[in-house]
A and B are shown apart, each in its own frame.
Chain A
Amino acid sequence: MSAPTGEDTKNISHLAAPNRENSNRENSDRGETEGKNVGGNDLTFANPDKTYLDSNELIINMGPQHPATHGVLRVILKLDGEKVLGTECIIGYLHRGVEKIAENRTYTMFNPYVDRMDYVAAVSNGLGYCEAVEKLLNVEATPRAKYIRVILTELNRIASHQLWLGTHALDIGAMTPLFYTFRDREEILKIFEKYCGARLTTHAFRIGGCQYETYAGFEKEVKNFLIFVAPKINEYETLLTTNRIWMERTKNVGVISAADAIALGVTGPVLRASGVKWDLRKAQPYAAYSEFDFEIPVGTNGDTYDRYLVRMAEMRQSLRIIEQAVNGIPEGPIMAKVPKVIKPPVGEIYHSIESPKGELGYFIVSDGSTQPYRLRVRPPSFVNLQALDVMVRGLLVADVVAVIGTIDIVLGEVDR
């Protein structure tokens, strides 16, 4: 990936592919038709510059204004007919310099900014940041605050996955799930709104705990939501899971092996769909996650369909976690003892959480002042986007759209 320049369309010869033996092509059921096109040899990967019948390649800009790039991602595609020979992502159209802003704000002042990165999962961003600073300060949130954090974060995970499902299905051509998911996401946003007054960029947590006590009837509403949403998830699955067209569009599309996923630093549902059982909520428990009983859904093939199934299963696991958290929410204060002026000791800290999209990490360097010396965000969308090229080589244009959807990127987070 590189910054946008005027020359990048002309000069993409560096799109040389790594020689990938265990590529998605072998798993592809379209191997027979495509294999004939290239004389039976895997020319796409061994020799990416060669096109069928030496026809001219088509270099095409997908984005920054394109209905399927979920914002302002620009993907330069090198096409042979409809087959993708290589891609290059140009990012930065939504760059707002979040990390630099952090250096000029106090720790408290910077807290709302993180909500603007992954704006569909703002609560998770806030959780990661607050916990990182808490770690730096060496304070711990109160048990009740931790439970509230877990409930809201998991609700946000469901909301994020619902939005992903709707837009992903829309990319593949199914218009209707989008409206169903938005209808049900609305209920989550209502809970957020009642809790902290904001729906999208919530700024729900503060360093040391939570600013607000839960409102009257919070537990009941969350429980009602659980009862409400479980059949709705089944409803989405009725529309898609066994739908022939959906299966054909997603199975064996955008395959990434576990080894490749690990090598590229891919995390979150994309990694788990490749069969790696890695979830920070279990591996390095934060907040109150160690107290809950839930499973990590994993896939086997690492294709788009598995990623879909993993996310659907994750929504159900989130429901389980929320249920346990609501039932076991302890009484007590919601704010730990935090100094009025937050002045962490000199040092550095890396703290990461499992956001809906993968590992969201904050690396903070403190020089002992009220402002971070340097703050670096490890955004899951940005890292996962690297895998796009690996996933789509040799597939068709329509698959690029499906794969961008399945990686589940939010450009606010990619560009920061």
Chain B
Amino acid sequence: MPNMIAIWMPNFIMSYLGSTVTPGEAGSQFWALIYVLIIFAGVSVAVMSMNWLERKALAHFQIRLGPMRVGPHGLLQPIADALKLMLKEDIIPTEADQFVFWIAPLIGLLAAFTVYTVIPFGPSQAVSDMNIGILFMLGVSSLGVLGVVVAGWASNSHYPLIGALRSSAQMVSYEVAMGLAVVSAILMTSLNEKGTGTLSMIGIVRAQEQQGIWFIFKFFPLGLIAFIIFAIAMIAETNRAPFDMAEAESELTAGYHTEYSGLRWSLFMLAEYAAMIAVSSIAVTLWLGGWMRPFVRLLHGPSWDFIFSLFPGLTFLGLAAIAFVGVLRMPAHSFFKIQKIGLAAFGGLLGFIALMLLVIAIAGRSEDASIGSRLNESIGYIYWFLLKVAVFMYLFIWYRATWPRYRFDQLMRVGWKVLLPISLAVLIVTAIVGVLVA
């Protein structure tokens, strides 16, 4: 019996490896679980690095240095913060609804993380290729508002309540414009011989591959307008500046999470950043070609493929170089010795990753079914996808540094009177143009 398991297990595990579909589609629970764990760990790390990046970038916008003390250039600050938040006293106000207060951050967190099951990092690099992927994604991500509303209500306090009310109204109104913008992108997927579109996230990117154009440029400027509407709505959807009315520090102290502290508060933050990455992923999938590398049409052929496959390695090489420049620029004082060593080690790690990636890119440049080639391909998909998401993440920080906050009624006016009519018009015009083209 154990013998049979010993044979069956590896077979079961290996059976998926040659496949070109997602583990969900291949029916491999084991690999689905592995993917889920990888994504969970990856998103958590991404949130932590985003935390550091936001503080650093925001600081440099504002002629400050940002975190500098914990680790070289404050690199260990997110870890220190996470430890601090975990060790803090867990306060539940006496007047609060204990159970609801307890469950609210979890709702937000679950909603934010569940979305990742359908995000296609590559044609087979997703947990599942649901045929209603985008619908699922919009539905689950809008559950996040429930966490906010419930948190505001359970706190039994005025400021959180106002924050929760603002948030619910805001998210509901912006979802409409967002949904219509998404529909116009989905309409574009139906421009094929069969005339049928798809709601599958992978299908949407495949449609862009087949048509050889990112939907942001499709029917110019229709795709662009829809994309901009989505890009605005997604900021409101994730409660980020300039639409951060639910938190509005200067008005509502901290909005819906005023009464939260320690670990629970950090769960809200985790959910917020995870949701930011998730909505950016939707935007990338729908309009920016998902995992496609830029200039697929213009610069094609094996040599161009090879050049573009060097990008991941070169990126890490650049990061390593930045780290080493940081080492060189460190003051010569003995106080900085440990920081210097730490930064050098970090740079070395980045350099090592860069080396590995470059080796894979060179080893896997042939277009066969060897492991190296497939690995090279996957790295390319994930790299381009994440790079596009990273651009959005930077934009989130940039917006926050630049703009004042909208007032609640102005936000509503923008949502209902500006974005909604435009997105409706774009939808109708896209449909007409689509029919004419077909």
A396: B residues at CB distance < 8 A: 407-409
Contact residue among B63, B252, B404 (Cβ-Cβ distance under 8 Å from A183): B63
Closest chain A residue, CB of each to CB of B244: A173
Beyond A58-B158, A399-B407, 20 additional pairs, beta carbon < 8 A: A30-B409, A33-B409, A60-B158, A60-B159, A67-B249, A67-B250, A68-B251, A82-B166, A82-B408, A173-B248, A173-B250, A175-B400, A176-B61, A176-B401, A180-B62, A243-B403, A248-B407, A249-B404, A396-B409, A398-B248
**Bound complex: CA A316 to CA B309 (Å):** 55
- Flag B238-255 by CB within 8 Å of A: 1 or 0 each: 000110110011111100
Q: Is B73 an interface residue (CB 8 A)?
A: no
A398: B residues at CB distance < 8 A: 245, 248, 251, 405, 407-408
By a beta-carbon cutoff of 8 Å, the part of chain B in contact with chain A is 58, 61-64, 158-159, 162, 165-166, 241-242, 244-245, 248-253, 400-410, 413
CB distance from A292 to the nearest CB of B (A): 33
CB distance from B294 to the nearest CB of A (A): 31
A60: B residues at CB distance < 8 A: 158-159, 162
By a beta-carbon cutoff of 8 Å, the part of chain A in contact with chain B is 30, 33, 58, 60, 66-68, 81-82, 169-176, 178-180, 183, 239-240, 243, 245-246, 248-249, 396-399, 401
Tally the A-B contacts, defined by beta carbons under 8 Å.
86
Contact B404 A246 (CB under 8 A): yes
CB distance from A101 to the nearest CB of B (A): 34
Q: Is the interface of B mostly helix, strand, loop or mixed?
A: helix
Contact residue among A169, A175, A245 (Cβ-Cβ distance under 8 Å from B401): A175
User: Are A175 and B62 CB-contacts (below 8 A) given A245-B406, A249-B405, A396-B407?
Assistant: yes
Closest chain B residue, CB of each to CB of A402: B407
Q: Which of B158, B406, B409, B413 has the most CB of A within 10 A?
A: B409
**Bound complex: CA A66 to CA B400 (Å):** 21
Contact residue among A66, A171, A245, A246 (Cβ-Cβ distance under 8 Å from B253): A66
User: Are A173 and B401 CB-contacts (below 8 A) given A60-B158, A67-B250?
Assistant: no
Contact residue among B64, B251, B405 (Cβ-Cβ distance under 8 Å from A397): B251
Contact B241 A173 (CB under 8 A): yes
**Bound complex: CA A239 to CA B403 (Å):** 8
Contact A68 B250 (CB under 8 A): yes
**Bound complex: CA A245 to CA B241 (Å):** 12
**Bound complex: CA A240 to CA B405 (Å):** 12
Contact residue among B158, B250, B403, B407 (Cβ-Cβ distance under 8 Å from A171): B250
B62: A residues at CB distance < 8 A: 175-176, 178-180
User: Are A248 and B158 CB-contacts (below 8 A) given A398-B248, A401-B250?
Assistant: no
CB distance from A190 to the nearest CB of B (A): 16
**Bound complex: CA A30 to CA B245 (Å):** 18
The 9 closest A-B pairs by CB, nearest first: A173-B405, A179-B62, A174-B404, A68-B250, A173-B404, A172-B404, A171-B250, A60-B158, A398-B407
CB distance from A148 to the nearest CB of B (A): 31
B242: A residues at CB distance < 8 A: 173, 245
B159: A residues at CB distance < 8 A: 60
A174: B residues at CB distance < 8 A: 402-405
